[in-house]
């Protein structure tokens, strides 16, 4: 008698994942957020394809069994973690490795655009205005990258290739990485401050009035981590009062950013719609990564990208 294949529950987003390689090897059930809670008890594995949804965090508490393994198609796991999931035996994995270099390239583009004043160049072109200016040299400047995981390290490598002296700040001090106690000192000297940390209780709104006040008036701030890392009202004051020269946000406390948000019109702020890691073919890469993880899981081999649920990220970086 042929054994029943494991049930794979997919929290869908459009377009859905390509899971053809799992045909006959998994019973694939698709669900939306509204039916997730009722379908969780019957699932062996949960693929959180809709990584913008908080449905897992809301649906996980409850009666009945729960999946033995949850994979999220994102680097961050704050959207799905809840006390019940953290305390369970369920293994959580993430999409570590997919977004590292694309996000690093995006940060480098923002740094170059800010240094070379490209937004105003495009604005003057639309106005048919010929206005010569001098711009900043990037080589020889300093950057502080907050977040020492794969994304932060990729950002540091890419900026170093541009001649930027880069310091990494992580949760603990170790070779090549500064600890939190060094953060204020490093950002006070940095031309570029980049937030790429996971969102945890420790990092929530770590960039506040104090931190923006410590930065140089010529500093440029970038957030490609999570919106919750930044006190957005404090950033608005810092830009309006010219405490810092400019900023770029790719992530926000509320997404999509509401049309009536004052952030849209802040002087010196670049707003992008959570796209820094999304390059052509990224969804296919996420699908391939999950299928390879599923094959390891089905074969009884240890999973990669296992998240420490108490910390909120994959340890060892």
Between CA 186 and CA 190, with CA 187 as vertex, the angle to 5 degrees is 90
Pairwise CA distance, residues 194 & 276, whole Å: 13
**How far, in Å, are 68, 82, 201, 292 from residue 87 at the CA level?**
13, 9, 16, 26
255 given a catalytic annotation:
yes
- Whether omega before 212 lies within 30 degrees of 0, making that bond cis, reads no
71 given a catalytic annotation:
no
SS3 169: strand
How many CA atoms lie less than 13 Å away from 172 in the CB half-sphere?
5
DSSP-assigned letter for residue 264: G
Q: Are 268 and 123 in contact (CB under 8 A)?
A: no
Active-site hit among 38, 84, 123, 255 = 255
- Tell which residue, 102, 78, 106, has the closest CA to residue 92: 78
- Tell which residue, 43, 38, 75, has the closest CA to residue 58: 38
Active-site hit among 35, 39, 189, 274 = 274
The strand ranges marked E within 200-291 are: 220-223, 246-249, 269-271
Q: Which are the contacts of 293, defined by CB distance < 8 A and separation ≥ 6?
A: 71, 93, 303, 304, 305
Q: Which are the contacts of 72, defined by CB distance < 8 A and separation ≥ 6?
A: 48, 51, 79, 80, 92, 93, 94, 95
Active-site hit among 71, 142, 211, 226 = 226
How many CA atoms lie less than 13 Å away from 123 in the CB half-sphere?
6
How many CA atoms lie less than 13 Å away from 241 in the CB half-sphere?
12
SS3 31: strand
Between CA 109 and CA 118, with CA 115 as vertex, the angle to 5 degrees is 70
The catalytic residues are 226, 255, 274
């Amino acid at each position: 008698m042929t054994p029943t294949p494991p049930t794979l529950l997919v929290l869908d987003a459009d377009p859905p994942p390509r899971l053809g390689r799992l045909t006959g090897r998994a019973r694939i059930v698709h669900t939306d957020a509204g039916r997730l809670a009722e379908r969780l008890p019957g699932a062996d594995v949960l693929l959180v394809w809709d990584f913008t949804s908080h449905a897992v965090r809301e649906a996980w508490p409850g009666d009945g069994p729960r999946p033995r393994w949850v994979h999220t198609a994102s680097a961050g796991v704050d959207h799905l973690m809840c006390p019940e999931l953290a305390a369970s035996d369920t293994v959580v994995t993430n999409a570590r490795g997919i977004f590292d270099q694309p996000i690093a390239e995006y940060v480098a583009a923002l740094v170059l655009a800010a240094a070379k004043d490209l937004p105003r160049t495009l604005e003057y072109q639309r106005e048919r205005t010929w206005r010569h200016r001098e711009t900043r040299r990037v080589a020889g400047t300093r950057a502080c990258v907050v977040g020492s995981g794969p994304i932060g390290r990729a950002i540091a490598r890419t900026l170093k290739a541009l001649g930027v002296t880069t310091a990494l700040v992580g949760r603990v001090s170790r070779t090549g990485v500064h600890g939190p106690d060094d953060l204020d000192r490093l950002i006070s000297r940095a031309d570029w401050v980049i937030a790429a940390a996971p969102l945890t209780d420790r990092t929530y709104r770590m960039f506040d009035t104090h931190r923006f006040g410590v930065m140089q008036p010529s500093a440029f701030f970038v957030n490609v981590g999570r919106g919750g890392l930044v006190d957005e009202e404090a950033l608005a004051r810092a830009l309006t009062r010219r405490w810092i020269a400019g900023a770029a946000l790719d992530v926000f406390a509320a997404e999509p950013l509401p049309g009536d948000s004052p952030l849209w019109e802040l002087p010196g702020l670049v707003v992008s719609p959570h796209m820094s890691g999304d390059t052509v073919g990224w969804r296919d890469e996420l699908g391939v990564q999950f299928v390879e993880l599923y094959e390891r899981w089905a074969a009884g081999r240890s999973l990669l990208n296992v998240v420490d649920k108490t910390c909120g990220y994959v340890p060892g970086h």
